[in-house]
Amino acid sequence: MYQIVLCTCPNQEVAKQIATELVTDKLAACVNIIPGITSIYYWQGELTSDDEVQLLIKTQNCFFSALKLKINELHPYDIPEIIAIDIQQGDKNYLNWIKGSLK
């Protein structure tokens, strides 16, 4: 099963570091870095609004545990967003490319 993993980062520098390590370690085939998102949430009882960067990480579910550990190792947040969404359908050639790009 193929997955897209979502992860928000505080800035472009952190996002690029995490993305580069995930691809270099072959835990992700590709990571899109989307700047300019605003997140609104409660943290420690207070309403918070932050400008963040969104990562869209393409991988397979068998790599999720290792990918999650790597993100937690590199991420500055106490509790980083790490959410996996299964890919229900996709172009066969692209999905095969993802598979071939991983460990």
Tell me the CATH number at 26. 3.30.70.120
Alpha helices (runs of H) in 6-91, residue ranges in sequence order: 12-24, 64-74
**Partners of 46 in the β-ladder:** 43
Task: Output the pTM of the full model.
Answer: 0.95
pLDDT in tens, 38-56: 999 999 999 999 999 999 9
pLDDT in tens, 63-94: 999 999 999 999 999 999 999 999 999 999 99
Residue-number span of the structural domain to which 67 is assigned: 2-101
pLDDT band at 5 (very low <50, low <70, confident <90, very high): very high
Domain count of the fold of the chain:
1
Give the integer Cα–Cα distance in Å for 28 and 20: 9
Whether 103 shows a pLDDT value over 90: the answer reads no
